[in-house]
Structure 1
Amino acid sequence: MSTPISITRHQGLEALELVAPDGARATLLLHGAHLVSWIPAGADEQLYLSPKSAFATGQAIRGGVPVIFPQFATRGPLQRHGFARGKPWQLVTAESGKDDALAVLRLSDDGATRMVWPHAFEAEISVRIAGRALEIELACENRGEAPLSFTAALHTYLRLTRIMSASLQGLSGLAYWDSARERAGTQQEDLLRLDGEMDRIYQDLKHDLTLRDDDRRVRIRQQGFADAVVWNPGEEKGDALADMPTGGWKQMLCVEAAQVLRPIELAPGESWAGMQSLELI
């Protein structure tokens, strides 16, 4: 038996407060389909959300899990990271079941999107929580009569206890593009240590990743997304961000499931889906 979840408000914006029977919790905004909180059962907050972030219609939120669609960063003619994170999404379903809580939101093309991206599409975000696990799926269907292509990411901000002792495991042997230094490279070490600005697109991710943060471990899996983006602005750029407090960069690391280096190509009627799963272990 499932119990419907009603729309409430969070920081003045429409939101869904997901609560699983085991105590896991998450907060999903209809603004941008933006997940701003994930608290696994018996644990504390796992996502970083900037206390200086604006919660306003049409504006991006700093932290949580922004939805990047249909363009990653400035790799195309659209505004940075596309338009999905600033648009209102529509509720499809939200319910708490006997084992989990689930919400699905939908974004379809409208006059404003077609002015900058002339395609008919339907995108959905599905968020499921249970126990110590979170699953986020982004799906897109081409509803038009012409092919379309896009890049996308789930721009997940993970909370850190101490940046100097944090590391990411599982990238060994992967080729990457270093966007901060504009050069290609290959990851040699098993543990990626954080020692300043980090902005890399790792390609063809094959294995799970593990965030190691003191005695905390978060397992990160993805399906459908070929790339993984690892980002931290570092001190100079982080402290220059108007929507992040001084030193806020020390409290976060973005580990993003992404499709950047090879855009998704959809023929009319075709669809695609990609998922990121997080588990506190």
Structure 2
Amino acid sequence: MKTAPGSWSFTRWTTVDQLEALEVRHPEFYARLFLQGAHLSHFAPAGAGNWLWLSDTARFMTGRAIRGGIPVCWPWFGVPGKNPDPVRQTVLSDTPHGFARTAVWNLEDVRESAQDVEISLSLDASQDFAELWGGRASALITFRFAATALQVALTSTNLGRTPLAFSQALHTYLPTPDITRTQITGLDRCNYIDTLDEWSRKRQDTALCFDGEVDRIYDTGGADIGLNTPATAYRLCSSGSRSAVVWNPGPEKSRHLSDFPDTAWQTMLCVETANAFDNIYVLNSGQSHTLSVMISRLEEHKDPS
């Protein structure tokens, strides 16, 4: 049921360095959600570790994106110049991944029950961001936490009078004990763009394994994705998504990334629920679109090694 501040049973305000956050301490799980960026940094069922990877050197500073968790890339994904023309024409900044991941979102709702907690945040991307973007839109993001799954749903609404094109991603960082013994399933037979090979187009014929830097945009059509690590297995079920981005910086790039230890590439990867490059969305005036992902972990799995 919906609850108001002061009557929450499991949710509390907290501050981490310079940033305000909501902390959920439920008997079945723990979560931490920052208002800046609508950024989820922690989700852990009772007795389990964080399902999300968070950098040991992450900084929680005003105007600085957090390295790890689930950054929200919106209303454009990646480098603006690599986006198709309809998206690129609205972008007035060279900042990668849009402005939502460093904007301060507004708390809309907290709903709590004995089984789950649901938190919604909103962002009005109109006049306040006119120097960065030529569009007019709102974003509503809802996080649902339960003992067996985490769900994130991002709804975009065109508030302008003309069609609006955008790209987006839920930039999910996930942990692994060993990236070289980790594989992704569900992408076989999918076409992808290899950004490390001059943005050439290729096809995935087997499960995806890692032996160095990977940066690929897959055309998935919304297929479910499996992630198998030596420790556990994840399942990512998406809706409203036509792309998936898989990223690991490898040893060379890691040395140049901010808030990222040199060896951290060995214990993380990103599997991003997205609509990117060929799969941008165009909304007519007043139309909405929801991009969502449900992440669950399997009790039994096989070590991919």
Q: Taking structure 2 as the reference length, what is the TM-score of the superposition?
A: 0.87
Cα distance in 1, alignment partners of residues 182 and 45 from structure 2: 20
Identity value in percent: 38
Is 1:16 matched up with 2:22? yes
Residues 1-281 of structure 1 aligned to structure 2 (within 5 Å): 4=8, 5-21=11-27, 23-74=28-79, 75=83, 76=88, 77=91, 78=93, 79-182=95-198, 183-189=200-206, 191-260=207-276, 261-281=278-298
Q: Runs of 4 or more off by more than 4 Å in structure 1?
A: none
**Residue range with higher mean Cα deviation, 102-111 or 28-37:** 102-111
SS of the equivalent of 2:134 reads coil
Q: What SS does structure 2 have at the residue aligned with 1:84?
A: coil
Give unpaired runs (5+ residues) of structure 1: none
For the 8 Å contact 1:93–1:104, the answer to whether it is kept is yes
On the 8 A contact 2:116/2:146 being kept in 1, the answer is: yes
CA shift at 1:262, angstroms? Answer: 2.2
CA RMSD of aligned residues (A): 1.5
Q: How far off its partner does 1:169 sit?
A: 1.1
- 3-state secondary structure, aligned to 2:118: strand
1:95-130 Cα deviation digits (max 9, x unpaired): 321210111000002434122212221101111110
Structure 2 stretches of 5 or more lacking a match? Answer: 299-305
- Provide the TM-score with structure 1 as the length reference: 0.94
CA deviation after TM superposition for structure 1 residue 73, in Å: 0.6
What one-letter code is carried by the residue in structure 1 that aligns with 2:14?
Answer: T
SS of structure 1 residue aligned to 2:228: strand
Judged with a 3 Å threshold, the aligned counterparts in structure 2 of structure 1 residues 159 and 270 are, in CA distance, closer, same or farther, namely same
2:302 aligned partner: none
Code of the aligned partner of 2:18: G
SS in 2 for 1:25: strand
1:238 is displaced (CA, Å) by 1.1
Amino acid aligned to 1:15: A
The DSSP-based 3-state class of the residue aligned with 1:115 is coil
Q: Distance in 1 between matches of 2:126 and 2:191?
A: 38
Q: Deviations over 1:220-268 (max 9, x none)?
A: 1110010000000100001221310120111111000000022111111
- The amino acid of 1:59's aligned partner reads R
| Cα drift, residue 143 of structure 1 | 1.4
Q: Separation in 1 of the partners of 2:137 and 2:231?
A: 43
Contact 1:20 1:130 in 2 (8 A): no
Relative distance call for 1:107 and 1:206 in structure 2 (3 A) is: closer
Q: Assess if the C-alpha contact under 8 Å between 1:124 and 1:138 holds in 2.
A: yes
Contact 1:154 1:257 in 2 (8 A): yes
Distance of 2:34 and 2:295 partners within structure 1 = 19
SS of structure 2 residue aligned to 1:102? strand
Matched-pair contact (CA < 8 Å) for 2:18–2:62: no
SS for the counterpart of 1:124 is: strand
Distance 1:244 1:108 in 2: 31
Looking at structure 2, the residues matched to 160 and 95 of structure 1 have their Cα atoms a distance apart, in angstroms, of 32
- Matched AA of 2:13: I
Task: After superposing the two structures, state which structure 1 stretch, 198-207 or 125-134, moved more.
Answer: 198-207
| Preserved CA contact (<8 Å) 1:15 1:27 | yes
Query: How far apart, in 1, do the equivalents of 2:271 and 2:138 lie?
Result: 25
Alignment CA distance shift 1:215-1:252 (3 Å): closer
> C-alpha distance in 1, partners of 2:155/2:2?
24
Bigger shift: 164-173 or 201-210? 201-210
* Shift in Å, 1:10: 2.6
Q: How much does 1:90 deviate?
A: 0.3
Q: Assess if the C-alpha contact under 8 Å between 2:222 and 2:241 holds in 1.
A: no
